[in-house]
Amino acid sequence: MNRVVAWFEDNKRDLPWRAPEAGPWGVLVSEVMLQQTPVARVLRVYEYWMARWPSPAHLAEESLAEVLRAWDRMGYPRRAKRLQEAAHVIVTEHGGVVPSQLEALLALPGVGDYTARAIRCFAFGIAEAVVDTNVRRVVARVQAGQGEAGPPRTVADRANVSALLETLDDTASQCVGAAGLMELGAIVCKARAPECSSCPIADLCQWRISGYPPYEGATAAKQARFEGSDRQVRGIILRELRSSDTPVPLSFLRTLWSEQEQFERALSSLLEDGLIETGPDKSAEYRISGS
């Protein structure tokens, strides 16, 4: 792990949420945005978001409509709504300061076990086994000699990473090591075409030593295709409503997607999630919630 720490210090990407001035709020925002979304898509939205709402109090005071518009096309817009709800809780229950306690973080809307531990580790310097897909892949290859990590096993995965981090001398090094494992999986030990010649622990990798055997174990469930999915229809509806300053007639929205049963399902789910609402004419027009 010492080699991973040294490699990370020399090769880590210059990401805005890693800057000291980002603070716990910047880390929280980035971790929510990075859920199921690549870094490249997050960067522009994150920078705009933090410039406009540099604290939980700023975001809590904003209208939901503006929050959803600022989320743009990052997908899974419920995250934006949950992030604003988390800002409200931080303001009302924690004096506007992001808490560091695990239980308090887990109580925030939109913050699950992984995100809470990542915030503690990367924002507060509290050593945590932060386990994402990249970390699980590195550990599976280096320790188990498997090309893939297989389905998540939360307790076992965290125990494996904790054991690795505990080989480091102090808490600060352990936090850097946690970030280093993630970075190693993201830019070197990639799912496809791993760059083993750039890996600081290639000589320890059991998968490499064994000649890169094909993975034959259980596989994690694959994400459903986006094209033609309800997610795509939801995005199309939201994009239209975000771009309009006035409620949009249902008759027009229906022209955006040919499969009407799927359209109605997507529209209903957006209403249920509180992302859109009916306009003054309750049965014939819609708008972004909070408009």
Tell me the catalytic residues.
31
Amino acid at 190: K
Rounded to 5°, the CA angle 149-167-3 comes to: 75
Structure tokens that stand for 16 in this block: 């805005």
Residues 6+ positions from 56 with CB-CB distance below 8 Å: 25, 86, 87, 90, 91, 96, 98
